Structure 1
Amino acid sequence: MSASAPERYTQELKRDLKLWENVSLVVSAVTPATGAFIIAPVLFGLNGTGAPLTFVIAAILGISLAFCWAELGSAYPIAGGDYTFVSRILGRGAGFVSLVLSGPVQAVLIPAVVALGMAEYLRVVIDIDANVLGAIILLSGMVIAIFGVRLNALAVAALLVIELLAVVLVSVLGFVKANRSVSVLFSPEVIGDGGTRPLTFGALIAGIAVASFAYNGFQGALLYSEETVGERKNVARAVFIALGVAIACEVLPVAAALLGAPSVPDLVASANPWQYFLTAIGGDTFNTIISLGIAVAVLNAVIALMPFFARILYSSGRDMAWPRPVSRSLAKVHPKYGTPVVATIAVGVAGALIILVTDVETLTTWVGAVLAIEFILVALSAIVGRVRQPNQDRPYRMPLWPIAPVVAIVMSIGVLTQQEPSDLAVAGGLVLIAVLYYVFYLRPRVHTHMLTLDPVLYDEGKGSTEPSGSAQQTTHISQN
């Protein structure tokens, strides 16, 4: 066997996801219900009647990034997502920073936000501490996720119907029972301190970080690329479909709530704006019924997010990004269900623990700053990759390159400049820790750790599409 032949990952994850199953997992991970019913209340408090406009502007950032993810994901169909192409294009140091931000950090924070938000809606019928209930929800989603990605796809597809129905129903009710003109949406005001004031440009930009969190997840199609059958363009298709659904399901219900609420100041000031809105237009019973529907919808997100982040941790273990015992554990695949069992448990347990000691608002603002940094790395990869690797096979190529990544970088930098110093300190501290770990642990072990192997490619009806004419090696974590 040639010593210079490229090393290629072995196919360990079970490859049996169809395009629509990939999309259902990704849309559920984006979870339109979470953006509308959990993240939007944070935006009401920050940007008042400017919340819908903030979602629209954040959608421009999302579309710019979608072009980047679609191209990069089809070129590098590897389960780890962002860090796998960042490390191959910008270098392993930048790749490890991306891994920390998109993997362990988001794997702990984002499912925790979703589970806490769901707990608030379940409390209309269950009188239990929201943090404890959120931890129970997260651990339940962890157990479900272990039983196979296709089972997850089928389960979330069924729950996704309920989720979308809840979003549609609330949107229709808001528009039908509108108490004010749509012009209120185009003259955004912040409400508080006994009065109103125009929404400033700086506050609008700062709110984009929170709104971007609501859209985050549509890039999840990349994480299931080793389990999806068919041509690699399916990764790009899933990215755009998921984002389109997310935009519609964030903007419309938030705008409907502002138009249909009896009192906008009361809506914005409410501890739970949606329960105020639902009670005001339909009464307590109606609020209870819809709140339970919302809770079921958000449960869908918890189930979808478990395999989402578990695959990043699984891939990091397979790439030996951590000390050998940790990496080997994270890379373990369940012998029957073909799922990364240890990585899934790690996501569930870590998220459950952080839920017990924090709140939705804190987690949401932390994630906003982290996402902005990650977006810059993704967009830079889309630019540098074309320059450094012009011959790289790209089944999908974005139109009008490099406009989309440049827009994403400019908007992300703008978002960072408007973040609270404490949130920037958290994000900066995480980046510093990642850089130090890479410099002092990974870089001296360049031949055995932070591996960057070639992906296993697959096309429906053709099976593995290994390049012919050259010997191919496969490798596994136990060999390293």
Structure 2
Amino acid sequence: MEEIVTRIEIGENVERRAYKQELHRSLGLWENISLVVSAVTPATGAFIIAPVLFTLTGTGAPLTFVIAAAMGLALAFCWAELGCAYPIAGGDYTFVARILGRPAGFVSLILSGPVQAVLIPAVVALGIGQYVGVIFNVNTNILAAVIILLGAAVAIWGVRLSAIAVGALLAIELLAVVFVGALGLFHVQRPISTLFQPLITNPDGTTQTLTIGALVAGIAVASFAYNGFQGALLYSEETTGSRRNVARSVFIALGVAVACEVLPVAMAILASPSLADLSASPNAWQYFLTSIGGDTFNTIISLGIAIAVLNAVVALMPFFARILYSSGRDMAWPAPMSKALASVHPRWGTPWVSTIVVGVAGAVLVLFTDVATLSTCVGAVLCVEFILVAASAIVSRLKDKTTDRPYRMPLWPAAPIVAIVMSVVVLTQQTSSDLLVAGGIVVISLAYYLVYLRPRRRTHMLMLDPVRPIEALTQRRHRPNADVND
């Protein structure tokens, strides 16, 4: 993936346009992985999303994470294959539009781009206030806004700088997760069978068996905790080496996320002095840390957790900025807006306007909301996006027999079918308000496409040829009957 050509010629004077190389190709495999793992942010799943699950599913939180991991693995096969076949910075919508059609592609763009770009960094940034507050009094919402703007500034300076910064902070993040998990392991008070007999604590202190419906509803929140491992696709135009590196990054990031989120959450269930207090506490982890190690211990670990969550915000800024950058490059918006979003900084080679948009929008949102509200809403949105991704993995094989696929998932179409079924089941258990939000986004997206983009389909929502390494293009140019889209 050293270079990208803007025009290629195949066969007899057949010319196709391809994306121009503007983003700096400076990431190695492990730098890509560090950005992706940090965007998944195991610390956010364990320390911010898990307390929401403690409330929703009680001692079933670890089991919920495991089931969500199974759905994540099914989706990982889809993302790995499609990401290698369509190595474009925009991520999901770039292949959904090419496979399922532009209307579906635009819905995917809105779900994975503007919606998540604002909601997800907001959830992460708001969570940090819970742990900084242990050290000194702070307005959580204002602190979250400052953190988001700081993350945007780092992202503008360069993707490699972002990778170096998050790589350093990632070490602290993983240490915090592993340390808390180990702490619980040395203070286990309950048998492991507790994890497979989930109970939920009622407001009056009584307990009851967790219902299947509540468990399934919690899967959407747990899936949110893993979301981001597909981020390798977004850096495909900036990563050197084989396109199979995209697939490698996807699977490694998911594996790290699962290990770092299931272990500490399970240990908290097994080691907490009181499960009722753990579920009822305003901050479950502060209760756990204080009850085992005391206030000083809680302060030290909370500082480490705060640094870990800061790392996630820094990683998420370039993650989502590349979706907006790609949407501008594809002319998904009115021309002035698209041109601005597609702007690349002449010195740092980063989509600086898109990064500023993500940062400012997130900073404004966090001033008026809270973690729990955003977490459940994001879960419903993600399930809709998962269905589009899995459907693309099925239709792509049926519709396009010629596209080069450096990675092919095993046992196709088992993985995408499992992902679709699980996503639909999870959606049926979401609250009406969250479903209304997700449905409203889909309807508004389709309306925009039909009213604005469809009449301008020759000049807007352009879908150019996927990025290809120059040596691969040379080989295909001389191959008999090569397909121009290959």
Q: Which TM-score band applies after superposition, normalised by the shorter structure?
A: over 0.9
**How do 1:288-303 residues align onto structure 2 when only pairs under 5 Å count?**
288-303=299-314
| Structure 1 partner of 2:201 | 191
Secondary structure of 1:262's counterpart equals coil
| Structure 2 partner of 1:150 | 160
| Residues 457 and 466 in structure 1, CA contact (< 8 A), matched pair in contact too | no
| Residues 57 and 210 in structure 2, CA contact (< 8 A), matched pair in contact too | yes
| Structure 1 partner of 2:75 | 65
Secondary structure of 1:125's counterpart equals coil
Match of 1:140 among 150, 154, 164: 150
Matched, 1:391 2:402: yes
Cα gap change, 1:62 to 1:269, in 2 (>3 Å): same
Secondary structure of 2:194's counterpart equals helix
Q: How big is each residue's C-alpha offset from its partner over 1:300-345, in whole Å with a ceiling of 9 and x where there is no partner?
A: 1000000000000000000000011110000000111100000000
Match of 2:175 among 165, 177, 182: 165
| Structure 2 partner of 1:11 | 21
User: What is the one-letter code of the residue matched to 1:427?
Assistant: A
| Residues 55 and 251 in structure 1, CA contact (< 8 A), matched pair in contact too | yes
Q: Could you tell me how far apart the structure 1 residues matched to 2:289 and 2:177 are? A: 12
Q: How big is each residue's C-alpha offset from its partner over 1:245-273, in whole Å with a ceiling of 9 and x where there is no partner?
A: 00001100000011111111001100000
Secondary structure of 1:197's counterpart equals strand
**How do 1:15-414 residues align onto structure 2 when only pairs under 5 Å count?**
15-194=25-204, 195-414=206-425
Q: How big is each residue's C-alpha offset from its partner over 1:429-464, in whole Å with a ceiling of 9 and x where there is no partner?
A: 0001000000000000000000110122227xx597
Cα gap change, 1:49 to 1:88, in 2 (>3 Å): same
User: What is the one-letter code of the residue matched to 1:80?
Assistant: G
| Structure 1 partner of 2:3 | none
Q: How big is each residue's C-alpha offset from its partner over 1:213-233, in whole Å with a ceiling of 9 and x where there is no partner?
A: 000000000000000000100
User: What is the one-letter code of the residue matched to 1:60?
Assistant: A
Q: Could you tell me how far apart the structure 1 residues matched to 2:475 and 2:56 are? A: 51
Aligned sequence identity (%): 70
User: What is the one-letter code of the residue matched to 2:358?
Assistant: V
Q: Could you tell me how far apart the structure 2 residues matched to 1:422 and 1:175 are? A: 39
User: What is the one-letter code of the residue matched to 1:331?
Assistant: A
Secondary structure of 1:5's counterpart equals strand
| Structure 2 partner of 1:468 | 477
User: What is the one-letter code of the residue matched to 1:92?
Assistant: R
Q: Could you tell me how far apart the structure 1 residues matched to 2:105 and 2:14 are? A: 24
Q: Could you tell me how far apart the structure 2 residues matched to 1:365 and 1:193 are? A: 20
User: What is the one-letter code of the residue matched to 2:143?
Assistant: L
Q: Could you tell me how far apart the structure 2 residues matched to 1:465 and 1:304 are? A: 35
**Could you tell me how far 1:126 is from its partner in structure 2?**
2.8
User: What is the one-letter code of the residue matched to 1:382?
Assistant: A
User: What is the one-letter code of the residue matched to 2:36?
Assistant: V
| Residues 229 and 458 in structure 1, CA contact (< 8 A), matched pair in contact too | no
**Could you tell me how far 1:417 is from its partner in structure 2?**
0.2
Q: Could you tell me how far apart the structure 2 residues matched to 1:293 and 1:144 are? A: 20
Q: Could you tell me how far apart the structure 2 residues matched to 1:88 and 1:334 are? A: 28
Q: Between 437-446 and 2-11, report the one with greater CA deviation.
A: 2-11
Q: Could you tell me how far apart the structure 2 residues matched to 1:466 and 1:84 are? A: 24
| Residues 212 and 368 in structure 1, CA contact (< 8 A), matched pair in contact too | yes
Q: How big is each residue's C-alpha offset from its partner over 1:183-207, in whole Å with a ceiling of 9 and x where there is no partner?
A: 1101001111321111111111100
Q: Could you tell me how far apart the structure 2 residues matched to 1:238 and 1:12 are? A: 22
TM-score, normalisation: structure 1: 0.96
Q: Could you tell me how far apart the structure 1 residues matched to 2:469 and 2:174 are? A: 32
Paired residues, number: 468
Secondary structure of 2:369's counterpart equals coil
Q: Could you tell me how far apart the structure 2 residues matched to 1:368 and 1:466 are? A: 43
Root mean square deviation, CA, Å = 1.3
Q: Between 212-221 and 172-181, report the one with greater CA deviation.
A: 172-181
**Could you tell me how far 1:3 is from its partner in structure 2?**
7.8
TM-score, normalisation: structure 2: 0.95
User: What is the one-letter code of the residue matched to 1:218?
Assistant: F
Match of 2:441 among 407, 424, 430: 430
User: What is the one-letter code of the residue matched to 2:460?
Assistant: H
**Could you tell me how far 1:179 is from its partner in structure 2?**
1.5
User: What is the one-letter code of the residue matched to 1:18?
Assistant: G
Structure 2 unaligned residues grouped into runs of 5+: 1-8, 480-486
Secondary structure of 1:190's counterpart equals strand
Q: Could you tell me how far apart the structure 2 residues matched to 1:285 and 1:203 are? A: 36
Q: How big is each residue's C-alpha offset from its partner over 1:72-102, in whole Å with a ceiling of 9 and x where there is no partner?
A: 0000000000000000000000000000000
Q: Could you tell me how far apart the structure 2 residues matched to 1:162 and 1:441 are? A: 47
User: What is the one-letter code of the residue matched to 1:468?
Assistant: R
User: What is the one-letter code of the residue matched to 1:89?
Assistant: I
Structure 1 unaligned residues grouped into runs of 5+: 471-480
| Residues 51 and 254 in structure 1, CA contact (< 8 A), matched pair in contact too | yes
**Could you tell me how far 1:129 is from its partner in structure 2?**
1.0
Secondary structure of 2:33's counterpart equals helix
**Could you tell me how far 1:54 is from its partner in structure 2?**
0.1
Q: Could you tell me how far apart the structure 2 residues matched to 1:359 and 1:465 are? A: 52
Q: Could you tell me how far apart the structure 1 residues matched to 2:453 and 2:475 are? A: 29
